Amino acid sequence: MKPTVVTVCVVLFLSPLSIAQAPTVNALPNTIYVGADGKFETAPDTALIQFNIAAQADNAKDAYDQASKQAEATRQVLRANGIDPKAAEIGFFSVNPQYDWKNPKHKVIGYQVTTSVNLKLKDFSKIGPVTAQLADVSVADSQSLSYMLDSTEEAKSKAVADAYRHARASAEALANASGRTLGELSYASVDTFENTRVRAPMVHKAMAPMATPAPTDEFSPQNVTVTAHVNAMFIWRAAR
């Protein structure tokens, strides 16, 4: 009697995202192909404060000078909290004319200077003082606070390991159900997804704390999650 060759391709996807990421793989004889998702949750290691410095005046020079004064006030706030001003990153800088759109000739009536600032903090205890002081000196009308994972390599590795455990468990379950044994891994592909930023509500100038605790005091930042998808092909054999 000729030996029977069994070709099985089983794809177990746990989310629509997984389906979109699934590669095209040609199943080989006596193999099983599975896919699974995994994740790893951890506390964030970085707080990101974002705000704009904006100034408007009748002419470009005055607007620029006002923005420069606000930038210096920002640097003073950072120094007062033991933060090197170079830690603040500029996202964009623009000088835009302001027009009188009711005038048929669209006459220029002023200029606006705007720059965005991103500040990453590892010391979360500085969030309250920095946001309050920036609001007190009227540097920005609003600020946004978000938490993120700045170092993701370890989290990625753990998410991949979790996805692989799920993939192998699915393959073993099917092998056992069909009376076969699972062999070695013959192929694998990995995708990781970094949904690692958790945004907090806007902190408005009018809501700046005075002598009261900061809104973030005694609360823990929400965990961030790194996810991974693993596609794996295993050799399987008839049970002995």
Query: Is 61 buried (19+), middle (13-18) or exposed (0-12) by CB count in 10 A?
Result: exposed
What is the C-alpha to C-alpha distance for residues 174 and 185, in angstroms, rounded to an integer? 15
Structure confidence by residue, pLDDT tens digits, 217-240: 667 788 889 999 999 999 988 776
pTM: 0.68
Domains of the chain from N-terminus onward: 16-43+152-197+225-238 (3.30.110.170), 46-148 (3.30.70.2970)
Single-letter residue type at 156: K
- Beta partners for 150? none
Give the pLDDT confidence of 165-202 residue by residue, as tens digits.
Answer: 999 999 999 999 988 999 999 999 999 887 655 555 44
Distance (Å, whole) CA 101 – CA 234 = 68
- Which DSSP letter does residue 179 get? T
Average pLDDT over the chain, rounded to an integer: 81
CA distance 211 to 99: 42
Q: For strands 31-42 and 108-121, give the pairing.
A: unpaired
Say how far apart CA 16 and CA 39 lie, in whole Å: 16
Total Cβ atoms within 10 A of residue 226:
25
Whole-angstrom distance, CA of residue 217 vs CA of residue 234: 50
pLDDT at 72 over 60: yes
